[in-house]
Amino acid sequence: MSLRLSVVIVHNHPRAPLSRCLDALEQCRPGLALEVLVVDQICDAEALAPLRARFPWAEFLPAADRRGFTFGINRGFVRARADAVLMLSPDCKATPDALWRLLRALQIDPTLAAAAPALPDHLGYPARSCGRFPGLWTLLCEQLGLARSLPDSPLFGRYRYGGRGVETLDLVDWASGAALMVSRRVWLELGGLDEKLFLSLEEVDWCRRAALAGHRVRFVPAARVGLLGRDAARGTPSHAYLHQLRSWVYYFRKHRGRQAAWAARAILSTGVLLRWAELFLPRPRAGAVPAPERAARARTFAAGLGVVWAS
């Protein structure tokens, strides 16, 4: 039976729930011809031995250089053989129904670059895991906390389709790379993820390139891929935050030009300074941040300002 789907998983954090992710994929194998490629950026043979024995049908690809999430995805896609390839976070739990719905979406519309599922949490509430391509206004709303405080506002939550129910979305600008099924033909046409986007905005950038080439992304709310927990593959909060700042500047420079990149730096700096100031505001005793943690966060924000203006 020919392959219908390849699944690429980047394993770069020892606490990522990889075994549960593979358990879920094993339940999909009886009715779906798939290959699973795990790009291992930890390269701890002893730790992976039980997984290799338990899931002999999964192929583990060592990537000891640890050049980031985007590099790992690209490495897996190069090895993928099916016409449809799913990039999947180890924090996600796929189901046969979800995979078939995504495959069907790609099959019936050849203009699609990718199809994305809903990503419900443990309570069944789907995240706003897709959005519009970002502009300076949406970046400002994100950095000032307006999007977080008023996510359903069409004005302030515009980046993630605020004002619209998740279940009503269809064609979207971009969707989360936590679970994104991509046409291998389009992937080869466009090239892989931009590895200068180490672990943030990489799927937004790829979807934008797809749109410029005349392709579209479809959100399929009936396809539900559960989130098992916090995305450990993204690393520590401070590590992820600094890479996110760097990615924002790079994204605006790449897609909007140098002037937009300078404006993005100013907006990001404002956001960093606001978060820094929040550390020292009076709080109720129950909500106070311990001094060592406050100092660590302050160091992160200081580093963040450096990252913004060095990028």
- Alpha carbons 62 and 11: distance in angstroms, whole number: 10
How many domains are there within the chain? 2
Instruction: Give start and end residues of each alpha helix (H) in the chain.
Output: 18-28, 45-54, 69-79, 96-108, 136-143, 146-149, 184-190, 202-212, 237-256, 258-278, 291-310
What angle, 0 to 180 degrees and rounded to 10, lies between the N-to-C axes of helices 18-28 and 45-54? 20
- Structural domain ending residue among the three candidates 233, 253, 282: 233
Render 136-158 in DSSP notation, one character per residue: HHHHHHHHTTHHHH-TT-TTTTG
- For the record, the structure tokens of 48 come out as 């992976």
Same domain, 111 and 204: yes
286 Cβ contact list (under 8 Å, min separation 6): none
289 and 197 within one domain? no
pLDDT band for position 284 (cuts 50, 70, 90): low
Give the list of residues 6+ apart from residue 180 with CB closer than 8 angstroms, or none. Answer: 86, 87, 114, 115, 116, 203
Cα distance between the two ends of the chain:
48
Among 98, 11, 99, residue whose Cα is nearest residue 63: 11
Cα(139)–Cα(262) distance, integer angstroms: 13
Q: Is residue 142 part of a domain?
A: no
Q: What CATH number corresponds to the domain at position 52?
A: 3.90.550.10
Look at residues 233, 263, 281 and tell me which one is the last residue of a structural domain: 233
CA angle 202, 122, 118 (to 5 degrees): 45
Poorest-pLDDT segment among 64-68, 121-125, 142-146 = 64-68
Give the C-alpha separation, 269 to 144, whole Å.
Answer: 11
Q: Is the confidence at residue 275, as pLDDT, over 50?
A: yes
Nearest in space to 81 (alpha carbons), one of 188, 218, 207, 195:
188
Token pair, residue 145, equals 């906390």
Determine how β-strand 226-227 pairs with β-strand 92-93.
antiparallel
Identify whether 168 is part of a domain. Answer: no
User: Band of the pLDDT at 153, cuts 50, 70, 90?
Assistant: very high
Beta strand 84-88 with 5-11 is parallel
What pLDDT, on the 0 to 100 scale, is given for residue 210? 98
Amino acid 255: pLDDT? 97
Whether residue 128 is found in the same domain as residue 207: yes
Judge if 181 and 262 occupy the same domain: no
Based on the fold, state whether residues 226 and 277 are members of the same structural domain: no
Any domain includes 141: no
Together in a domain, 215 and 249: no
- 95 shares a domain with 14: yes
Q: Is the pLDDT of residue 286 over 70?
A: no
Which of 184, 203, 233 is the last residue in one of the domains?
Answer: 233
- Let me know if residue 94 belongs to a domain: yes
pLDDT (mean) for 60-70: 79
Which DSSP string corresponds to 186-229? HHHHH-S--TTS-SSSHHHHHHHHHHHTT-EEEEEEEEE-EE-S
Task: Taking residues 40-60, report their average pLDDT.
Answer: 88
Tell me the pLDDT tens digit for each residue of 252-274. Answer: 999 999 999 999 999 999 999 99
CB atoms within 10 A of CB 182: 30
Q: What is the mean pLDDT of the chain?
A: 90
- R_g of the chain computed on alpha carbons: 20
Residues 177, 33 within the same domain: yes
Asked if the model's pLDDT at residue 177 lies above 70, the reply is yes
Distance of alpha carbon 115 from alpha carbon 102, whole angstroms: 6
192-247 tens-digit pLDDT: 999 999 879 999 999 999 999 999 999 999 999 998 765 444 445 788 899 999 99
CB burial of residue 291 (10 Å; 0-12, 13-18, 19+): exposed
| In the chain, % of residues over pLDDT 70 | 93
Give kind and range of the element (H or E) at residue 179.
Answer: strand 179-183
Domain of 269, in residue numbers: 237-310
Co-location of 179 and 306 in the same domain: no
Residues near 105 by beta carbon (within 8 Å), at least 6 away in sequence: 112, 115, 181, 218, 220, 223
Predicted confidence (pLDDT) at residue 159 exceeds the cutoff of 90: yes
Q: Is the same domain home to 245 and 115?
A: no
Let me know if residue 147 belongs to a domain: no
Q: Is the pLDDT of residue 66 over 80?
A: no
Answer whether residue 265 is part of any domain. Answer: yes
Phi and psi angles of residue 203, each rounded to the nearest 5 degrees, phi first: -75, -30
258 plus 226 within the same structural domain: no
Asked if residue 52 and residue 124 are part of one domain, the reply reads: yes
Average pLDDT over residues 143-147: 94
Residue 56 lies in a domain: yes
Residue 39 lies in a domain: yes
- Report pTM: 0.92
